[in-house]
Structure 1
Amino acid sequence: MITIKKYRLIAVAVMACGYLLSGCESFLEEAVYTEYDPAKLLQTEEGINSVLVSAYGELQFKGNNREFNHTFAEFPTDIALESGGGFEREAVLFMNFQWDESHAFFSNSWSKMYRAIRNANSLLDNIGLATSLPEQRLAELTAEARFIRAAAYFHLYDLFGPVPLITTSETLDMEPVRPSEADFSAFLTAELRAAADALPAVQDMIGKATKGAALAVLCKFYLNTKQWQLSADAADELIGLGQYGLFGAIEELFTVDNETNAEFIYTHPYLPLSGFGNTYMAHAFPPNYPVLPNWENYGAQYRTYTSFVKSFEPGDRRLRMFLTEYTTIQGQQVQLVEDEQGRPLDNARSFKYVPDPSAINAFHGNDCPIIRYADILLSKAEALNELNGPTDDALALLNDIRERAGVSLLTLDNVPTPADFRDAVLRERGWEFFSEGLRRQDLVRHGQFIGSAIARGKAAKPHHVRYPIPRRELEANQQLTQNEGYD
């Protein structure tokens, strides 16, 4: 199946050929190829798709996977750490809660998401020009743009809280203010609802917005803002589509051969090409690991805390995704969990993204799921517990995940109170979604992000549950207000 990335490469090549072959009659009449003219480009579905592909390219974590999924989402938590290479000087700031508003990662992520929003707005402002398209098809393309815009705002909210809502490319407001939590939530949920109502259940390309993807983001936004009933309702609607299910062998879910499985709902696709690949494994290979000749092993090392590895039940199939020992290319046996005296080494490696045999240097083709079906089941279980306490229905959802992992099933006697069930869900989410960029938001939602960090000796403060608005944005917009604690 073709992916967004492949389509984008083809589009760029075609455009480049067109530029090279075009000529001009005189200097004054020379065509300007770098100027975007929506009145001409957006009259056809081909033109609309070219803008959509550009918007998807900004929305996806290509080039920012290291920041979104790991630096922001796991290094400040109880799962992962980093050492070595030039990247260590950046990672250590997040491991030790020493970041500030001047860090380039914040401004880069802000700009990337707002570029996706800009491209989606441009399409939404002008899509009515495509008068020759059937009404239903026009509605689907419009819904894709609304999904992209909403998904970008979802990512921004996860990092910074409510951010300025720019809903048109024709705005004259150069200094938009931050909306209230209520206004931001109302806009985002309305956009996702509208997108879900119009999007098809299945698309022709991996990575494009679907009805399930819109419902999944809606479910997770409701969950993270503790709108429990609405989260459970969105989960039910998604489950009712009948499009998704748990993949049988969890340890094989993230291989390149299994990318088109029914568990991945909302995915960012990758290709084994420079600039388009998943670079996770280049950071996960330990020193002198016997890599293939076409793989690359970075000096920057993603590691896993021993306490997290040892928290799994023995026999948990998800433990198979960790490298706990290996033989170097020199024949030396290396332990990664504990030394001979039983002291933690904090050096196990997550091999969840099983190395791609066809990788080119650091760039592997493993797609990155943003939301998968297991997440929806656990989200619904969590929401039901917050609404009604432990019930058979909530427990069955939790046990679906545990059964797939090959661990003991829980009974209501194991989780007799809402607090017990809440803790069980949080533990399960850690075991299920490590290396997927969800740990920070889960700990924040459960009120354990700061306490967990303090217990590890970090200088975490209550305001660290949100990252700071980038300094560059504050300097450019005098109406922007900084998040509490960063002034």
Structure 2
Amino acid sequence: MKKLNITLAACSVIALSLASCTKLDEKLYGSKTPYVAGNASTSDLNGVYAQLNGQASQSNTYALQEHSTDEMMGPTRGTDWGDFGTWRKLHTHSWDPSHNQVNDTWDELNTGVYRATQVVSTATDNSIKAQASFLRAYFMFQIVDLYGQAPFRDPAASPDDIPIVYNRSDATDFIIKDLEFAEANLAAPSGDIGVASKAAADALLAKVYLNKAVYKAATVGGPFTFDKADMDKVIEYANKVTAMGFTLEPAGKYFQDFAWDNTEQSHENIFGISNSAARTVSNANTRWRMGLHYNQTPDGWNGFTTLADFYHSFEDGDERKGVDYPGLTDRVGLRAGFAVGQQYGPGHVALKQRGGQPLVFTEDVSLNFSTEAQGIRVFKYFPQPSANNTVNDDHATNDYVILRYADVLLEKAEAIMRGGTDPMGQTALQIVNAIRAPRGASALATVDATSMLAERGRELYWEGWRRNDLIRFEKFNDPVDQRPNASDKTRTLYPIPQRAVDTNPNLKQNPGY
């Protein structure tokens, strides 16, 4: 019932490239006319960028990457958020090949690959081709990470040809090749994170090489062996990003990477979706509406929460845990970060639930049976209140962030920890503590796999990378709150949608499904 984004446009392309969608109007969606070769234009490229907008949804890619982890869940509250179990199944690792978001994410991402391929195959302008190559690599990266197989159709092929399928290893090589071409032909960062740049290509290359051991592993779910040569590549690309002028936010400014003016204020944001008052192409408001109670300002959907154990992994002095944010808290009572305890509105008025009880967000929460006030909420993004303490967040100006500099630095630190050599001479501990210091967290004495994973969680929570991290550290299947038993390692991959397997004999269902 809660705003599940179902992209009908995805079906039109998947019908051409991957599988068939049911109940489609043939006049609108059933054409089998092959793509006509020509010089791809800026408008064609804009269509590929537009496919990124689904990344800012609370469902699909984001939900698959977050709800399955130790930092997010979507509790059912009476009749709210039941949604036929779609959120509960993600958190309990009990999805199957017919799960709606498993299917919709597959369609959405493969549509992105196909649209990008159309531009790559016809563009004569290297700038356009490089941007499309980067976008194709990003969409395919998500497919490889989530599903482990990547269908691919040449736009010039006959509509009757069955798409080939890259296995996980070969698809990873394909992604690297795309990104290397993009990196060589993209421009330097322009200040607009909505345009792919050399820094974006370098940042994504670092992430691919860091996860290469996962994608090349002989067994799904590990164990993983991290080659020094791959770790050195992570460090190389991370250093290239640093050389382009990105820096960490100063003390007290962590949340300005996500605030309404992050376009102008951020020193860390590398790539994402740019929004402005004049042009909101992919509203970041889902990120606060997911957890805001109906009686808060602005009102929200009263949905997702974090887990108490994750919340308690932060020190009290760590800014990332939560702060009063100027221009936000003093106007509408909302704090940036984690929200627990009594909640306040404009004028610091203590808010109440719909039934009249105090609105007190509690640590305890049940995945199946929760009240409207249970669960710790998270407001990493937040809207700009007006002068009269109201919020119209339908045109929020927050850029939506996909790649960020602190992530790149932590990847470099992890690569050093895993045996890579930094020509700049930094140690993993130095990098981690350099990130913790401006956040107000105390310095660590040592860093190992456990503390590195924990630090990535504290720095990057709710940014869509937690599942990816947990799998790489071989912790994804561990029990967590509301999932008391370990899941099988085959759950580190989602199933291929059954209708895709049924229509493409080159696709083979993943192990365990």
2:126 pairs with 1:139 = yes
Q: CA deviation at 1:141?
A: 1.5
1:351 corresponds in structure 2 to: 379
For residues 454 and 242 of structure 2, what CA distance do their matches in structure 1 show? Answer: 23
Q: Which residue of structure 2 lines up, in the alignment, with residue 444 of structure 1?
A: 471
Match of 2:283 in 1: 277
1:73 aligns with 2:65: yes
2:254 paired residue among 250, 253, 260:
250
* Residue 322, structure 1, aligned to residue 338, structure 2: yes
Contact 1:113–1:156, Cα closer than 8 Å, also in 2: yes
Structure 1 residue 178 corresponds to structure 2 residue 165: yes
- Using the TM superposition, give the Cα deviation of residue 476 of structure 1 relative to its aligned residue in structure 2, in angstroms: 1.4
The counterpart of 1:58, out of the listed 26, 51, 54, is 51
Pairing 1:373–2:379 present: no
The reply to whether residue 426 of structure 1 matches residue 444 of structure 2 is no
Q: 2:399, 2:118 → 1: CA distance?
A: 28
Q: In the alignment, does 2:107 pair up with 1:111?
A: yes
Q: After TM superposition, give the deviation of residue 38 of structure 1 in Å.
A: 5.5
Q: 1:124 Cα shift?
A: 2.3
Structure 1 residue 180: deviation in Å?
3.4
Q: Is the 8 A contact 2:59 2:101 kept in 1?
A: no
CA RMSD of aligned residues (A): 2.8
Stretch moving more, 373-382 or 261-270: 261-270
Q: CA deviation at 1:381?
A: 0.3
Contact preservation (8 Å) 1:59, 1:112: no
CA distance in 1 between counterparts of 2:442 and 2:104 reads 43
CA 1:250–1:423: 2 relative to 1, 3 Å: same
Contact 2:34 2:155 in 1 (8 A): no
Q: Which amino acid in structure 2 is aligned with residue 214 of structure 1?
A: A
CA gap of 1:461–1:246, structure 2 versus 1, over 3 A, is same
Please state if 1:480 is matched with 2:510: no
Aligned residue identity for 1:174: D
For residue 179 of structure 2, the aligned residue among 172, 179, 192 is 192
* Residue 425 of structure 1: how far off its partner (Å): 0.9
State the AA in 2 paired with 1:250. Y
Overall identity of the aligned pairs, in %: 29
CA distance in 1, matches of 2:311, 2:185: 43
Task: Say whether 1:383 aligns with 2:383.
Answer: no
Q: Within the alignment, does 1:95 sit opposite 2:118 as a pair?
A: no
**Displacement of 1:264:** 0.5
* Corresponding residue SS for 1:267: strand
Greater gyration radius: 1
Aligned-partner Cα distance in 2 for 1:216–1:102 = 34
Q: Is the 8 A contact 1:296 1:361 kept in 2?
A: no
Asked whether the equivalents of residues 63 and 275 of structure 1 are also in contact (C-alpha less than 8 Å), the reply is no
User: Is 1:233 the counterpart of 2:236 in the alignment?
Assistant: yes
Is 353-362 or 438-447 further displaced after alignment?
A: 353-362
After TM superposition, give the deviation of residue 114 of structure 1 in Å: 2.0
SS in 1 for 2:248: coil
Q: Which residue does the alignment assign to 2:268?
A: 263
Letter in 2 for 1:328: L
**d(CA) in 1 for partners of 2:467, 2:131:** 28
What secondary structure, in the 3-state scheme, does the structure 1 residue paired with 2:104 have?
Answer: helix
Q: Tell me: CA distance 1:232–1:377, structure 2 relative to 1, closer, same or farther (3 Å).
A: same
Separation of aligned partners in 1, 2:186 and 2:469: 28
Q: Check the 8 A contact 1:306/1:337 in 2, yes or no.
A: no
Shift of the 454–253 alpha-carbon distance from structure 1 to 2, 3 Å rule, reads closer
Structure-2 residue corresponding to 1:31: none
C-alpha change, 1:388 and 1:183, in structure 2 (3 Å) is closer
Aligned-residue offset at 1:59: 3.0
Deviations 1:452-478, CA, capped at 9 Å, x for gaps: 449941462210001111112112112
- The answer to whether residue 196 in structure 2 is matched with residue 209 in structure 1 is yes
Tell me, in whole angstroms, the C-alpha distance in 2 between the residues paired with 1:428 and 1:139.
Answer: 39
Task: Name the CA distance, whole Å, in 1 between partners of 2:234 and 2:207.
Answer: 7
| CA shift in 2, pair 1:454/1:444, >3 Å | farther
Query: What is the alpha-carbon distance in structure 2 between the residues aligned to residue 87 and residue 283 of structure 1?
Result: 14
Indicate conservation of the 8 Å contact 2:263/2:399, yes or no: yes
Aligned partners of 2:141 and 2:172 also within 8 Å = no
Query: Per-residue displacement from partner, 1:180-205 (whole Å, max 9, x unpaired)?
Result: 33322221111101100110013475
Tell me by how many angstroms 1:147 deviates.
0.8
Equivalent residue in structure 1 for 2:314, among 308, 312, 315:
312
Query: Is the 1:175–1:480 Cα contact (8 Å) retained in structure 2?
Result: no
CA shift in 2, pair 1:317/1:451, >3 Å: same
- Secondary structure of 1:259's partner? helix
Match of 1:286 in 2: 293
Which residue in the other structure is 2:496 paired with? 469
- Amino acid of the residue matched to residue 179 of structure 1? Y
Report deviation, 1:275: 7.6
- Tell me the alpha carbon deviations over residues 210-260 of structure 1, each in whole angstroms, 9 at most, x when there is no partner: 001011111111112233222122212222223x11122113321011234
**In 2: Cα distance, 1:144 partner to 1:389 partner:** 30
What's the CA shift for 1:372? Answer: 0.3
Taking structure 1 as reference, are residues 277 and 480 closer, same or farther at Cα in structure 2, changes over 3 Å only? same
The one of 408, 416, 433 equivalent to 1:399 is 433
Inter-partner Cα distance in structure 1 for 2:57 and 2:34: 26
Please list the CA deviations of residues 369-423 of structure 1 after superposition, one character each: whole Å capped at 9, or x if unmatched.
Answer: 1110000000000000101699962111111111121111123xx34xxxxx111
Structure showing the higher helix proportion among its residues: 1
Determine if contact 1:454/1:460 at 8 Å carries over to the other structure: no
